Amino acid sequence: MNNTVKFKADFPLLGKPMGNNPLVYLDNGATTQKPGEVIKAITEYYDSFNANPHRGAYELSIKATDIYENARIKTQQFINAKYSHEIIFTKNATESLNLVAYSYGLSHVGAGDEVLIAISEHHSNLVPWQYVCQMKGATLKYIYLEEDHNLSQRDIEEKITEKTKVVAVAQVSNVLGLINPVKEIVERAHKAGAVVVVDGSQSVPHMAVDVQDMDADFFVFSGHKMLSPMGIGVLYGKEALLNDMPPFLMGGDMIDYVEEQHTDYAPLPAKFEAGTQNVGGAAGLSAAIDYLNRVGFEYIEKQEKELTKYAISRMKEMDYIELYGCDSSRDNKTGIVTFNVKDVHPHDVSTIMDAHGVAIRAGHHCAQPLMIYLKQNATCRASFYFYNSKEDVDKFIEALSKVRGVLGLGA
């Protein structure tokens, strides 16, 4: 049995047909499928250990607390954070970014300051910063792109200045699939006195990440894009910064003492985790990390790279396909392939591919400013994960070759 067949067998949904076709799932950038053992970890939690953690002084609640806090330690090790209390559980990367924008941004960005982001940012790492700048009278600046769709080196060098208070950038763009030079950006930003927020939504599931080596001040990701259930996400922040920030959500569990007119907040990480948390989700995340560690990022990266290379080479044989971010002059392409079919709207492409069991994403990918910058109304995106096979790519290409015909256009 080859590796992908072996991995696919671990994912119940990947064995189910879509209409009359076997499912070819190529929307992993949006969310990945879940292996049986992650699903089992979630049901096991609710079957055997469900109680509100941190509260009850009874065995079940202590077990639930253990599961939740062990997930935190596992996450800390997974991205190599220095302390486990630097890991804050949230709903998803979007909530993590909002937490940073509201709590750090609104208290540290002032009139005349600048926030610098990349034009390729997902709305979740763009709209909150727009809001912060509007509220504080600051300016939102953009790193634009090189011809090969990498971040403009010149903008990185020139736009981080002493006015810059925050640089927010994705480690991998969800549309272009290119790895950004975050380490270099962090170095430059720190020299200028700015903090750096790195969106790891499209990197953490696909490559080994070391937040200490990167020296990011904040780092966020979603569980559901890395085999975990939806509704569990992570914010990593450096201890000193998190300690210095006001809480984002307030209520139960995030306090030490509450008086009529005054509250002492709890220490990290509880300060940022108000209310009952998603413990079942944390159990799932923990199981997902175990699974990914077993597969190993060496294999994951190699498989995704091969699939992407193969897909792009096949697509380049079709002269009516336009590709974006697929001609990087650096060796930094991940498993995201964004494209358009000449004269066909992406939604029609997606509908027609769907009729062949091939699931891809179509639209603006929550990156409208990037679409405008690329002068595209919308695009199609195929995104691979380690469980995808060469046969999946072949089926994708076969379906793609039928698109124009369905609409009465010549091949």
CB of 19 to other proteins, least distance (A): 6
Task: Look at the alpha carbons of 100, 103, 105, 108 in this order and tell me if their dihedral is positive or negative.
Answer: negative
Which of 332, 376 has the CB closer to other proteins? 376
Stretch that binds other proteins, among 67-75, 220-228, 237-245, 371-379 (CB under 8 A): 371-379
Among positions 2-41, residues that touch other proteins (CB under 8 A) are 19
Determine the 3-state secondary structure of 312 from DSSP. Answer: helix
- In the list 192, 368, 390, 398, the residue contacting other proteins (rule: CB under 8 A) is 368
Q: Which of 179, 336, 352, 397 binds other proteins (CB under 8 A)?
A: 352
Q: Where are the beta strands (DSSP E) in 6-58?
A: 17-18, 21-22, 24-25
Which whole-number Å values give the CA distances from 282 to 41, 208, 353, in the listed order?
Answer: 10, 20, 35
Q: Which residues contact 58 (CB under 8 A, 6 or more apart)?
A: 51
Residues 373-402, mask of contacts with other proteins (x by CB under 8 A): ----xx------------------------
Residue 406, interface with other proteins (CB under 8 A)? Answer: yes
Minimum CB–partner distance for residue 150 and other proteins (Å): 24
In b/e form, how buried is each residue of 221-260, taking b as 16+ CB within 10 angstroms? Answer: bbbbbbbbbbbbbbbbbbeebbeebebbeeeebbbeeeee
Residue in 30, 323, 363, 394 binding other proteins, rule: CB under 8 A: 363
According to DSSP, the β-strands at 218-222 and 233-237 are antiparallel
Q: Is 326 a catalytic residue?
A: no
* Residue 362 C-beta: closest distance to other proteins, Å: 7
Q: Point out the catalytic residue in the list 133, 326, 366, 380.
A: 366
Q: In the chain, what is the greatest distance between 2 CA atoms, to the nearest angstrom?
A: 74
> What mask, x for binding other proteins by CB under 8 A, covers residues 310 to 349?
----------------------------------xxxxx-
What residues are paired with 237 via a beta bridge? 218
Q: Tell me how many residues contact other proteins (CB under 8 A).
A: 20
- Report the site for other proteins in 209-268 (rule: CB under 8 A): none
Nearest residue (CB) to other proteins, 293 versus 377: 377
Peptide bond into 267 cis (omega under 30): no
In the block, residue with structure tokens 């969310």 = 31
**Rounded Cα–Cα distance for residues 285 and 223 (Å):** 6
Residue placing its CB nearer to other proteins in the complex, 44 or 354 = 354
Q: Which residues are catalytic?
A: 366
- Site residues (CB under 8 A) for other proteins? 19, 344-348, 351-352, 354-355, 362-364, 368, 371, 377-378, 406-408
